């Protein structure tokens, strides 16, 4: 099985692991049960990754290019 990363996709497991790691440290420090805190950490990590993905893949960054040979317009996605 192969996992192919494109762009900033490698940040997904890293951000998720950091969110869960910080949740465990916070729960141990405050002596709280980690059951629902893990759910909150997953939602926070997902929300951050959604926001970051929308920011990075903003369609406003697309460029409109003209092919010199044919004169046709073409869109180059995300610079």
Q: What is the pTM of this model?
A: 0.65
| Beta-carbon count within 10 A of 5 CB | 10
Domain segments of the chain as ranges? 11-76
Those residues whose C-beta lies under 8 Å from the C-beta of residue 62, and which sit 6 or more positions away, are 75, 76, 77, 78, 79
> Model confidence over 10-19: pLDDT tens digits?
888 999 999 9
Q: What is the pLDDT of residue 19?
A: 92
pLDDT < 50 stretches in the chain = 79
């Amino acid at each position: 099985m192969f996992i192919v990363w494109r762009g900033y996709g490698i940040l997904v497991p890293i951000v998720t692991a950091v969110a869960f790691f910080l949740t465990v440290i916070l729960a141990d420090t405050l002596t709280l049960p980690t059951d629902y805190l893990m759910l909150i950490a997953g939602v926070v990590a997902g929300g951050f990754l959604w926001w970051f993905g929308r920011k990075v893949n903003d369609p406003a960054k697309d460029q409109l290019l003209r092919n010199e040979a044919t004169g046709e317009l073409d869109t180059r996605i995300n610079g």
